[in-house]
Amino acid sequence: MQMREAKRGKTTPEMKAVAEAEGIDIKFIQRGLAAGRLIIPKNAKRENVSVVGIGEGLSTKVNANVGTSPDYVRLDEEVEKAKIAVRYGADTVMDLSVGGNIDEVRRNILRSVAVPVGTVPVYQAGIEAAKSGSVVDMSSDDIFNTIRKQAEDGVDFMTVHCGVTRAAVETLRRAKRLLDVVSRGGAMHAAWIIHNERENPLYAEFDYLLEIAKEFDLTLSLGDGMRPGCLADASDVVQFQELLTLGKLVERAREMDVQVMVEGPGHLPIDHINANIQIEKAVCDGAPFYVLGPLVTDIAPGYDHWVGAIGGAIASWAGADFLCYLTPAEHLCLPSVEDVKEGVIATKIAAHVGDLAKGIGTERDDKMATARRELNWAEQFKLAIDPEKARELRRKRPPTLDPNVCAMCGNWCAIKMVEEYLKRSK
């Protein structure tokens, strides 16, 4: 187990791989793991995984969601989405399938990509319970058996909505939100609590959840089931009550040597982002923070990958460690393969922008500047986040007067002009 070995002062191959990838001393990785301030999601049963480190002092990572819906059950397409996401830079993939044979989809994705894979097990537990009744008919055993089954399959990290408690639901009842609950997992738990008048099993039996996680070295992602679904609900008492609960659970997980991260909003005005990140880091003692976006406006359907990238860049700069992508299809429909590609690229840009503000990854931008000064197009394409698009745009409108410049300025290329006169003046 990564955290246990780190606490013992030992290094693992996974720690060494992360240290090498990040260009950071192995002792820094070891100390961060031991303190719970960074994680390396990898199921002990899964082999041949390109491990990544997520957390304090490391580059910002990107997750891409894929998965079936009741309306679109196309296994091959979801596998292709996962592959495309990884090809364009996703560090992890989550399977959020809620349609068709969920086991088959998950297992195929696990076989098809070599990055950490996550799930939200309550989806499957609730959907299977609904086959003979309703989501609210699922039992505690249904939830935990699903968690164990998915862990047995090799899932590396799981979102578990442990903070959706009876107290949180009562607070929600009294709140004056425009959008009560937009988290699918959060809604399932809230509905279950209201119907059964009992505590959320993931909270009531958190120690049992930790036992399963410890057995598989499963990383727990403490879900934000009460996250705001619109700007008007941002940073309210419902959101922060759940966060305070998660802060206590982070401490309990660390005591059991279970790796854990915390999920965050959601929809936030741009001026709320920094404060939200700092509050999470304080309440959860520096636990890695995994954010969806955040989305900084509610009125851009079709462009929410841009909206999320704006919020994600600021969140990364402020200290978020892990960005969940959004696609152009967010709030509208199940994303296509092309939507997944666009979402990943937009979020990779956001992560890089945030890292630059933290002094991480500046070498690549310096190399790009040098390549532009030298009009070295091959090197510019090599350094680009999306080389294919850069090449295609240049191919569509090539320069006709001078092949060394671009078709924007032609003979009036600023770089070429000044370079020539600088040489003459020497």
Q: What is the pLDDT of residue 426?
A: 61
**CA distance linking residue 41 with residue 146, whole number of Å:** 19
Q: Are 236 and 276 in contact (CB under 8 A)?
A: no
- Residue 26's alpha-carbon distances to 6, 33, 52, 118, 261, in angstroms, are 11, 11, 14, 26, 21
Q: What is the pLDDT of residue 341?
A: 98
Same domain, 391 and 316: no
Q: Does 192 map to a domain?
A: yes
Report the b/e string of 88-103 with b at 16+ CB within 10 A: bbbbbbbbbbbbbebe
> Parallel, antiparallel, or unpaired: how do β-strands 54-55 and 38-39 relate?
antiparallel
Which residue type occupies 130? A
Q: What is the pLDDT of residue 146?
A: 98
Q: Does 25 map to a domain?
A: no
Same domain, 164 and 234: yes
Q: Does 372 map to a domain?
A: yes
Which domain-ending residue is among 357, 382, 411? 357
Mean pLDDT of all residues belonging to the chain: 97
Same domain, 259 and 111: yes
Could you tell me which of 263, 354, 274, 275 has the C-alpha nearest to residue 313?
354
Q: Is 255 exposed, middle or buried (0-12, 13-18, 19+ CB in 10 A)?
A: exposed
Same domain, 204 and 338: yes
Same domain, 218 and 318: yes
Provide the domain limits for residue 417: 362-425
The tally of CA atoms less than 13 A away on the side-chain side of residue 332 is 16
Mean pLDDT across the stretch 76-80? 98
For the record, the structure tokens of 300 come out as: 């851009």
∠ at Cα 380 (374, 386), nearest 5°? 165
Q: Does 40 map to a domain?
A: no
Residue 373 neighbours by CB distance under 10 Å: 12
Beta strands in 44-176 (DSSP E): 54-55, 61-66, 92-95, 117-119, 157-160
Q: What is the pLDDT of residue 30?
A: 97
Same domain, 351 and 332: yes
Same domain, 234 and 346: yes
For the record, the structure tokens of 43 come out as: 């199921």
What is the tens place of the pLDDT at every residue in 242-287?
A: 999 999 999 999 999 999 999 999 999 999 999 999 999 999 999 9
Q: What is the pLDDT of residue 36?
A: 98
Which residue type occupies 171? T
Which residue type occupies 91? D
Same domain, 249 and 339: yes
Q: Does 211 map to a domain?
A: yes
Same domain, 221 and 270: yes
Residue 424 binned pLDDT confidence (cut-offs 50, 70, 90) = confident
Q: Does 305 map to a domain?
A: yes
Residues forming a β-bridge with 95: 66, 119
Same domain, 283 and 409: no
Q: What is the pLDDT of residue 103?
A: 98
Same domain, 371 and 255: no
What is the tens place of the pLDDT at every residue in 103-153?
A: 999 999 999 999 999 999 999 999 999 999 999 999 999 999 999 999 999
Please give the tally of structural domains in the chain.
2
**Strand, helix or coil for residue 117:** strand
Residue 423 binned pLDDT confidence (cut-offs 50, 70, 90) = confident
Same domain, 366 and 326: no
Which domain-ending residue is among 357, 389, 411? 357
- DSSP letter at 2 equals H
What is the tens place of the pLDDT at every residue in 327-372?
A: 999 999 999 999 999 999 999 999 999 999 999 999 999 999 999 9
What is the tens place of the pLDDT at every residue in 185-219?
A: 999 999 999 999 999 999 999 999 999 999 999 99
Q: What is the pLDDT of residue 113?
A: 98
Given a cut of 90, whether residue 401 has pLDDT beyond it is no
Given a cut of 90, whether residue 70 has pLDDT beyond it is yes
Residues forming a β-bridge with 420: none
Which domain-ending residue is among 357, 388, 403? 357
Q: Does 42 map to a domain?
A: no
Q: Does 392 map to a domain?
A: yes
Question: What CATH number has the domain bearing residue 95?
Answer: 3.20.20.540
Give the distance from CA 305 to its chain's centroid: 13
**CA distance linking residue 294 with residue 266, whole number of Å:** 5
Backbone CA torsion sign across 94, 97, 103, 109: negative
